Amino acid sequence: MSESVKLVTAIVKPFKLDQILEALARVGIVTLTVTETKGYGQTGQTELYRGMEFTAKFLPMLKIEVAVAAHRLDKVIAAILGAAKTGLAGDGKIFVCELNQIFSVRTGGADKTAPPLAA
């Protein structure tokens, strides 16, 4: 039986992206997806817009997703945690899910024949 593959999803502050990419590259991760998103749940930050003060409820965040072989999971999580942490509220979250199947759109290949996979 082949090794399991995990999907690591990190929701992080946008200004930490370069540091996170560098940390992931150091552990061999060069293929990933980044999506601009907004987070809700923190107290928000006070902004000034057209002379009026308001509290932003949805804060800009980035979602980073990477598929990784299970034996590399701890290194990937440690890299993201080390690079993303500011110590302040709203640093983000990391979610890990099991991937049951992976398909390459280009080749139609399934499982480990569907590159790229951070093995």
Determine if the pTM surpasses 0.85: no
Q: What is the pLDDT of residues 72-111, one digit of tens each?
A: 999 999 999 999 998 888 889 999 999 988 888 888 777 6
CA angle 51–55–61, rounded 5-degree value: 115
User: Quick check: 51 pLDDT over 80?
Assistant: no
Q: What is the pLDDT of residues 16-40, one digit of tens each?
A: 999 999 999 999 998 999 999 988 8
Q: Which two tokens stand for residue 42?
A: 């923190």
34 or 54, which is more confident? 34
Q: What's the CA gap between 114 and 64, in Å, rounded?
A: 20
User: Structural domains in the chain?
Assistant: 5-113 (3.30.70.120)
Average pLDDT over all residues of the chain: 85
